[in-house]
Structure 1
Amino acid sequence: FAAPSSGLVATPGGGKPLANRQGKPLQRLKNTDLSAATNVSNIAYSSNWAGAVWDTYPSGSFYKVTGTFTVPTPTAPNGCASIWVGIDGDTCGTAILQTGIDFCYSNGAISYDTWWEWFPYAAFEYGAPIAIAPGNVIRVTVQATSTTTGIALLENLSTGQYEEESISAPSYPLCEANAEWIVEDFSSGGSLVPLCNFGTVTFTNAYAYLNNGGVLSPLGADIFDIYQGSVLTSVSEFSGGVTIQYI
């Protein structure tokens, strides 16, 4: 796992926990009627994840996931969301290795955080946090060096800075069965936060690397939209990427 040639490197384990957020595994919804209405065979619904998920591979398949996106400018309604890439969390719901950003909108005020997480442990700041701003181009990568160790890397390609963390599993090992590119309605205090309008998030140069030498883009993966009384997102895949739109 080659670190970028310039920027900041986080001190392993040096970050603080983010007390007000935690990611969750994919919360699938029973969606027979919704799926029939879409006429798309690989689309499903979730209360918390929107994006593309490879979930048809056996354990021991995926060791690295990466993707690039532009930091959005969230708008009303008041709320928050996360953008991240990860390994596991769907058919393997006991562990997720993930990294990304949170953003919140509250009556015109906007805030951002960068983080890594090995679920079920809390999300943590990087040991040497970097600044991000609307319009910055961010590349996020997670790599499992074993089922119980991994690396999270977040690069701000607009500023040349990056942050990196070496991580050990807090409890459950990875299955290496899922790879995903996600916008999430994360949890705080045990409940989903209100979802802000994040506009359109597009992952490009999005790839999942398999232990057998194969490489997959999101194209062909299962699509998940967020449903909370109504459908809140629209997801579409293309070769090398996936677009997630707030609707």
Structure 2
Amino acid sequence: MQFLTVTFVHALLVASALALPSSTGEHLAKRADSFQRPSQPVQLVKSPAGDSHGVAASNWAGVVLNSASGTYTFATGTFKVPTPSEPQNSWGTHAASAWVGIDGYDCASAVLQAGVALTVAAPSLTTYTAWYQWYPYTAVPVYDVPVHANDVVRLSVNATSPSAGVVTIENLTTGKSAQHDVAGPELCQKSAEWVVEQYAVWGVPAPLADFHTVAFTDATASGTNGTVAGPADDAAVVVNLVQNGKVVTKVMAGNDTVEIDYVNAN
């Protein structure tokens, strides 16, 4: 029932935004988008038959550094914000979120993350919202760092202790930045990740937008021992997003790069 209520309000706000001048429409779109910020740990699923792309998940794609020793305290990555679009043969509001985090892969209690949410309701109505979150707490939008298509954004998360940290969001194109202290349930510090997510509204996935390509550069993570690792490290795991039994992403990792491509499986 909560999901139906939120979805109805979101649809009403987007419909109203389409009929209003752009400044008012953008304001309403932001209000609507604010309902859709919660992120979740990875939801692993069985890979489709014949798929050899690595690990499969139902809610996100990306690269994970996974360590049994539990030492990750810092992760960062920079990417150019894409212009989302509605997938072929699909209509309505679609969304995706690109983020950098700690413990999104193998920790049930907490995730520390920072990202940019993308929403598209029509070619003329797209929203871009920076955010951070200490899961399972509600994510927080960062409106004092405006983000637009083609902006270059750097995301950094730093766990100063298992239950406290600092997130930094920098728009390198505009020079705007924000830093926030965060706290929450204890992290496991087992993984660091660079991700594009099909995030959920009250536990139900929002339709995935065609995000085209999210290419993280300067993607590194480090731990308490000071060792710096990248997406091509031996501990790296490639995760692809699966919908309706089909892989809808292609993920490639380099020494300090992660490229996540949307693949239309319709």
TM-score range, shorter chain: 0.7 to 0.9
1:185 aligns with 2:195: no
Q: How far apart in 2 are the matches of 1:144 and 1:179?
A: 11
State the partner residue of 1:29.
45
User: What is the aligned partner in structure 2 of residue 119 from structure 1?
Assistant: 135
Query: C-alpha distance in 1, partners of 2:220/2:168?
Result: 15
Larger-gyration structure (1/2):
2
TM-score (norm 2): 0.80
Q: Distance in 1 between matches of 2:37 and 2:106?
A: 23
The Cα offsets for residues 19-73 of structure 1, whole Å up to 9 and x where unpaired, read as 3321011000022x54x532x5xx11001110001123322x1010000000000
Q: Is the 8 A contact 2:145 2:169 kept in 1?
A: no
**Aligned residue for 2:227?**
214
Tell whether the 8 Å contact from 2:232 to 2:253 is kept in structure 1 after alignment.
yes
- Tell me which amino acid in the other structure corresponds to 2:257: G
Matched, 1:165 2:180: yes
Structure 1 counterpart SS, 2:36: coil
The question of whether the paired residues in 1 share the 8 Å contact of 2:162 and 2:189 is answered with yes
Q: Does 2:81 correspond to 1:66? A: no
CA RMSD across the alignment: 1.5
> How many residues align structurally?
222
Structure 1 vs Structure 2: percent identity of aligned residues? Answer: 36
After superposition, the C-alpha distances for 1:152-179 in whole angstroms (9 at most, x for unaligned) are 100000111101110111xx21111110
Give 5+ residue unaligned stretches, structure 1: 1-16
Q: Which TM-score applies when normalising by structure 1? A: 0.86
The equivalent residue for 2:12 is none
C-alpha separation between the residues in 2 aligned to 1:37 and 1:161? 42
**Aligned residues of 1:18 and 1:123 also touching (Cα < 8 A):** no
The residue type equivalent to 2:60 in the other structure is W
Q: CA distance change for structure 1 residues 19 and 75 in 2, over 3 Å: closer, same or farther?
A: closer
Partner SS for 1:93:
coil
Deviations 1:71-122 (A, max 9, x none): 0001113410000000002211210000010011112211111111000011
Partner residue, 2:59: 48
Residue from 113, 120, 126 that aligns with 1:110: 126
Task: Give the superposition deviation at 1:189.
Answer: 2.2
Deviations 1:105-161 (Å, cap 9, x if unpaired)?
1122111111110000110123x6221111110000000010111001000001111
Whether 1:244 aligns to 2:260 is yes
Q: Name the residue aligned to 1:153.
A: 168
Q: Which amino acid aligns with 1:135?
A: N
Extract structure 1 runs of 4+ deviating beyond 6 A.
none
Helix, strand or coil: the match of 2:161? coil
Gaps of 5+ in 2: 1-32, 88-92
